[in-house]
Amino acid sequence: MVVGKHRPTIETVDLEAISWNIQQIRKGLSPGKKFFAVVKADAYGLGAVPVAKKAKEAGVDGFCVALLDEAMELRENGLSDDFIMVVGPTEAEDAALIADNGISVAVTAAEWLEAALPYLQERKTELPVRVHLAIDTGMGRIGLRTVEEVQAFEARIAELDGFVFEGIFTHFATADGEDPTLVERQLTLFEEILQAMAQRPPIVHLANSAISLWHEAFRTDAVRVGIAMYGYNPSDTVLELPYELKPSVQLDTQISYVKQMHEGDTIAYGARYRAFEGEWIATLPIGYADGWRRDLRHQTVIVDGQRCPIRGVICMDQCMISLPKEYPVGTKVTLLGENGGLVNNPSEMAVTIDTIGYELLTGINARVPRVYK
Ligand SMILES: Cc1ncc(COP(=O)(O)O)c(C=O)c1O
């Protein structure tokens, strides 16, 4: 994808804020607990390599990604010895690549191990595949679900060469909500499974941001923190953050065109907005093909410390806003982040369009150049 370097739409990522958030979250964890920074999906759209390097400097103990290719990107860009776990599915035929690169993977069944065996012959090293058994305690996504299945897996992996049973983990469905019922049920099932194992693997982990922020007490060896590290509330507007986090993303552009309208003049496709007499309308060089989604059209952006409503539908590469008065071409406009004391927080904006801050952040794509602060 072409990066739009020649237009003034820029995403600024505050790496210091990420570092500060890591320290804040760390203070809330019990001593000795490992902090795995979740940098999947290009660090939620903020750039996996720079974020991971900064997170390492801030003292994290490893990284979680979703794809084997995301793990390889880190390995190939200076994170050569760090713990990296792929929390999503991987292909058994990639077992040699996984082993040779010392990558830990989520495994959901003994069949994966059996299927990986022939591919392990192709290893260039003697390194084993580091296995983290996924347990589905209520998320309904991946993993074994019963004590019997886990015991059978444990027996089988002990018989096979080429694997090390490094960890076991689960993931929560409602940790960001007000009702703790499912969280408690998931914890109980996970604990029952751990108790029934012949040996607890060295790295037991379950906590995403929401668990780390609001339910840290459970005894585990590591947390997997994503959104909170980037400075956003995983619960959007439902639960309050227990301590301050600093948002790390600023999305700014500049006015590219300004005009004054007559009563009834229309704006954008479908002519859905009709201007009032004398209304100042500015055009912004950002649209849905940049990840500035069409359904954000009822939101406001910030100009000179004032909220300005988007007018009409958002086009592919541009959108229009209403100004309180004339502002010149080149005036800074903030879409996400702070401007003159006002803030557009993606977690809060997301609620109004029935999504989550994660989707807004990951949606801003490579067309928007990213700079680091
Ligand atoms: C398995 C797993 N662990 C941890 C995380 C991090 O979640 P959060 O960003 O809410 O901390 C995710 C993200 O979706 C995940 O899929």
The DSSP-derived string for 139-162 is S-SSSB-SHHHHHHHHHHHHH-SS
In a domain, 303, yes or no: yes
In a domain, 350, yes or no: no
> The CATH number of the domain where 282 resides is what?
2.40.37.10
CA distances from 108 to 102, 156, 324 (A): 19, 13, 56
In ligand 1, the atom with minimum distance to the C-alpha of 234 is 10
Mutational pocket test of ligand 1: of 105, 224, 241, the residue with most ligand atoms within 8 Å of the beta carbon: 224
> Structural domain of residue 42, as residue ranges?
15-225
Any known ligand binding at 85? no
Could you tell me if 83 and 187 lie in one domain?
yes
Question: Is residue 119 flagged as an active site residue?
Answer: no
Could you tell me if 64 and 202 lie in one domain?
yes
pLDDT at 79: 98
Separation of CA 247 and ligand 1 centre (Å):
18
Cα atoms in the Cβ-side hemisphere of radius 13 Å centred on 96: 9
Mean pLDDT of 277-281: 98
Protein residue with least CA distance to atom 5, ligand 1? 208
Given pLDDT bands bounded at 50, 70 and 90, which one contains residue 218? confident
In a domain, 81, yes or no: yes
Given pLDDT bands bounded at 50, 70 and 90, which one contains residue 217? low
Any ligand 1 atom below 6 A from CB of 224: yes
Could you tell me if 259 and 207 lie in one domain?
no
N-to-C CA span, the chain: 23
Separation of CA 227 and ligand 1 centre (Å):
8
Could you tell me if 99 and 203 lie in one domain?
yes
Could you tell me if 40 and 171 lie in one domain?
yes
Q: State phi, psi for 136 to the nearest 5 degrees.
A: -95, 100
pLDDT, tens digit (0-9, with 9 covering 90-100), for 30-40: 999 999 999 99
Any ligand 1 atom below 6 A from CB of 205: no
> The CATH number of the domain where 199 resides is what?
3.20.20.10
Q: Pick from 168, 193, 225: which residue ends a domain? A: 225
Could you tell me if 205 and 266 lie in one domain?
no
Q: How far is residue 373's CA from residue 24's CA, in Å, rounded to a whole number?
A: 19
* For residue 178, pLDDT beyond 90: no
Mean pLDDT of 277-298: 98
The chain-wide mean pLDDT, for the chain, equals 96
pLDDT, tens digit (0-9, with 9 covering 90-100), for 18-55: 999 999 999 999 999 999 999 999 999 999 999 999 99
Could you tell me if 31 and 80 lie in one domain?
yes
* For residue 216, pLDDT beyond 80: no
Could you tell me if 179 and 303 lie in one domain?
no
Could you tell me if 105 and 188 lie in one domain?
yes
In a domain, 332, yes or no: yes
In ligand 1, the atom with minimum distance to the C-alpha of 44 is 9
In a domain, 53, yes or no: yes
In ligand 1, the atom with minimum distance to the C-alpha of 87 is 1
* For residue 244, pLDDT beyond 80: yes
Any ligand 1 atom below 6 A from CB of 208: yes
Mutational pocket test of ligand 1: of 18, 133, 171, the residue with most ligand atoms within 8 Å of the beta carbon: 171
Mutational pocket test of ligand 1: of 38, 60, 203, the residue with most ligand atoms within 8 Å of the beta carbon: 38
In a domain, 1, yes or no: no
Any ligand 1 atom below 6 A from CB of 357: no
In ligand 1, the atom with minimum distance to the C-alpha of 358 is 9
pLDDT at 222: 97
In ligand 1, the atom with minimum distance to the C-alpha of 88 is 1
Question: Is residue 273 flagged as an active site residue?
Answer: no
List residues bridging with 254 in a β-sheet: 332
Could you tell me if 161 and 259 lie in one domain?
no
CA distances from 42 to 46, 103, 363 (A): 6, 17, 11
Could you tell me if 261 and 147 lie in one domain?
no
Nearest CA to 285 out of 258, 253, 310 is that of 253
In a domain, 358, yes or no: no
Selected catalytic residue, list 33, 40, 54, 56 = 40
Q: Pick from 157, 190, 225: which residue ends a domain? A: 225
Ramachandran bin of 74, using left for φ above 0, alpha for ψ from -120 to 50, beta for the remaining angles: alpha
* For residue 360, pLDDT beyond 90: yes
Q: Is 88 helix (H, G, I), strand (E, B) or coil?
A: coil
Q: How far is residue 225's CA from residue 33's CA, in Å, rounded to a whole number?
A: 12
pLDDT, tens digit (0-9, with 9 covering 90-100), for 133-158: 999 999 999 999 999 999 999 999 99
Mean pLDDT of 314-343: 98
Could you tell me if 95 and 184 lie in one domain?
yes
Number of domains in the chain: 2
Any known ligand binding at 316? yes
Separation of CA 141 and ligand 1 centre (Å):
13
Mean pLDDT of 86-97: 98
In a domain, 274, yes or no: yes
